Amino acid sequence: MTVEIKTQGVKPIRNAYAHLEARFGNKAATRYQEIAYDTQSTTNFHYKPLWDPGRDLYDAGRTAVVMKDWYDFKDPRQYYYGSYTTTRAKQQDALDRQLDFVGKRDLLRLLPETARAQIIANLVPLRHYEWGANMNNCHISAYGYGTAITQAASMATMDRLGMAQHLSRIGLLTDGNSGEALDEGKRQWTDEAAWQGVRREMENMFVTHDYFELLVAQDLVADSLVYPLFYEQFESRFAAEHGSALSSLTDYLMRWHQETNRWVDACIKTAVSESPANQALIAGWIDKWRSAWNQALQPIAVSALGTDADASLAAVNEVFDARLKKLRV
């Protein structure tokens, strides 16, 4: 018996949605393009938001930045929910193995008391900084315009909660899971004089309404000073005195920061390239927040780094200068 199997090719009527064909031509769209482009609600706003009745629910005027096309803010990582969660799951699995390695061997708990005190005083309070960064990126996601920027901000929002949890786990590894490190970290954040400048600037960002200014303040300026100051300058000094156990746990924080900078830099470059007015506006925001954050970080830098504080802050600012030069601001 002979069985003949016939095949027939089916040609799709179209390769992508109409709005994507208008942007990219008659070709198959990527998942990122399907999710990120032209999905912002623009019509049928029947009700004004009670908290801001002068604006629509989704309003491009919630920032002083002006764009012809709000979908120019492409994420170079091309994250959508599926690719984002898959990437973060793999990273978290690797991080969990490292945390387990340090925990099973009590590598932090068995450090000298002075070393554990340094971790608790200089790193654990940063979990409150990360919670603040979570709130700020929530604002960007809620009030931003165009899915290209708001979905990336939503992912950053979740990342910042993860960073706060990671710092909490470092605290628990330091105190043997008693929770005392977390209590002391909170006391440092709320009461210790060295932290009050950082806390003040975080709270100043909470009342910043322009969402793009907030992106500049939090994700560009503050993170570019805070992350390398603590996770490179402080960490390298700590490692030289007490070994690399802590370094193995803070390495992920810097790698995440460098990955996220790709998105932040793309947003800044796009806005600056749009017009001289945008460039001048963003440059002014950078100067404003950079001055404030350098002043805020000086006391805790002295507390964490002693006589190396000024040199460490200078090194951090030198790297930031080079980055801003590439961004043309």
Does residue 190 form part of some domain? yes
91-111 mean pLDDT: 96
Do the Cβ atoms of 295 and 197 come closer than 8 Å?
A: yes
The parent domain of residue 313 ranges over 80-327
Distance CA 236, CA 224 (A): 17
Does residue 23 form part of some domain? no
How many CB atoms are closer than 10 A to CB 314?
9
For the chain, the C-alpha Rg in angstroms (whole number) is: 23
The structural domain count of the chain equals 1
Torsion-angle region of residue 306: left (phi > 0), alpha (psi -120 to 50) or beta? left
In the chain, the percentage of residues whose pLDDT exceeds 70 is 100
CA dist list (Å): 228 to 62, 64, 176, 257, 325: 31, 30, 27, 9, 18
Between 51-60, 108-117, 229-238, the lowest mean confidence (pLDDT) is in 51-60
Torsion-angle region of residue 52: left (phi > 0), alpha (psi -120 to 50) or beta? beta
Does residue 48 form part of some domain? no
Distance CA 26, CA 18 (A): 9
Does residue 3 form part of some domain? no
pTM tops 0.75: yes
Does residue 60 form part of some domain? no
Distance CA 239, CA 227 (A): 16
Does residue 290 form part of some domain? yes
Task: Kindly indicate the confidence band of residue 306, based on its pLDDT and cuts at 50, 70 and 90.
Answer: very high
pLDDT tens digits, residue range 199-223? 999 999 999 999 999 999 999 999 9
End-to-end CA distance of the chain: 76
Which phi and psi (to 5°) does residue 112 adopt? -55, 150
Distance CA 95, CA 42 (A): 41
Residue type, 147: T
pLDDT of residue 2: 75
Does residue 29 form part of some domain? no
Between 39-43, 233-237, 256-260, 298-302, the lowest mean confidence (pLDDT) is in 39-43
Q: What is the dihedral of CA 190, 196, 200, 202, to 10 degrees?
A: -70
CATH at residue 238? 1.10.620.20
DSSP states of 169-236: HHHHHHHTSSSHHHHHHHHHHHH-GGGHHHHHHHHHHHT---HHHHIIIIIIIIHHHHHHIIIIIIHH
CA dist list (Å): 124 to 118, 189, 222: 9, 9, 17
Do the Cβ atoms of 165 and 88 come closer than 8 Å?
A: no
Helix (H, G, I), strand (E, B), or coil: what is residue 55?
Answer: coil
5-29 mean pLDDT: 86
pLDDT tens digits, residue range 108-157? 999 999 999 999 999 999 999 999 999 999 999 999 999 999 999 999 99
Query: What is the token pair recorded at 63?
Result: 């920032």
Does residue 4 form part of some domain? no
pLDDT of residue 1: 67
